[in-house]
Amino acid sequence: MSEITIALVGKTGHGKSSTGNTILRKDAFEESNTTTYATEILTLQRADFGNYKVKVYDIPGLESQTFSQKHIIRQFYSLMESAGKIDLFIFAYSYPSRFTIEEAKVLSKLQDTFGHDFLEKHGMMVVTRGDLCKRDASGDGVPTEECFRKWCENSGDKFKSLREMVSDRILLVCNRGTFEHNTDRMVSSRKLHEIAITMHNRGTPFKKEEFERIHKWCTIA
């Protein structure tokens, strides 16, 4: 059985944990839609799907005001010590938010942590709250895909740069509802699995050794 390792990264409140639950098709991670609750420590959950063992790591948001930066950076060290390699980084971002300077700072810190090209080589972007996009599309009388495309186009240059960074590996997902046949959430889960398998099959994961090279001269007390 092949093992696929996924790491959820991004700002608190953008749906990292709920995306993890959609991938695993169960309530594995505690969810929150606000910044008042945040993932405190690195959390690992897993599930088997056919020939694949899927491991998902949920990581504290880098901008957290609840935890020190030293605490958060320790979680990244723990991630690589535990996982050894990451097949897919998922940068979670919620519809209909705007990509502000704050989000750009979070991305910059992640690049400092995993390398400037970590998303380009090993990542994708997930836009959560697809149910809200579907509602807006219905109100405007257009398909959900058209509503999402227009939102992406109108989200500014920083967001455009992020899309280019992940080579348009961007997916609108619905993290609400059941996993019954062909529900919006089940369709989202299947698409996430397809991308994860594709990235895994490339055979070029982000490895612990690469992380150690980046942080060769760093010490965390």
Read off the pTM: 0.92
**Tell me: the pLDDT tens digits for 183-199?**
999 999 999 999 999 99
Percent of all residues in the chain with a pLDDT value above 90, rounded to a whole number: 74
CA-CA distance, 110 to 173, in Å (whole number)?
A: 22
- For 87, half-sphere exposure in the C-beta direction (CA atoms, 13 angstrom radius) is 22
- For 179, half-sphere exposure in the C-beta direction (CA atoms, 13 angstrom radius) is 9
CA-CA distance, 97 to 93, in Å (whole number)?
A: 8
Average pLDDT over residues 145-165: 94
Q: How confident is the model at residue 221, as a pLDDT?
A: 46
Binned at pLDDT 50, 70 and 90, residue 218 comes out as: low
**Tell me: the pLDDT tens digits for 10-54?**
988 899 999 999 999 999 998 865 544 555 689 999 999 999 999
Mean pLDDT of the chain: 91
**55 neighbors 69 (Cβ within 8 angstroms):** no
Percent of all residues in the chain with a pLDDT value above 70, rounded to a whole number: 90
**45 neighbors 24 (Cβ within 8 angstroms):** yes
Q: How confident is the model at residue 87, as a pLDDT?
A: 98
**18 neighbors 31 (Cβ within 8 angstroms):** yes
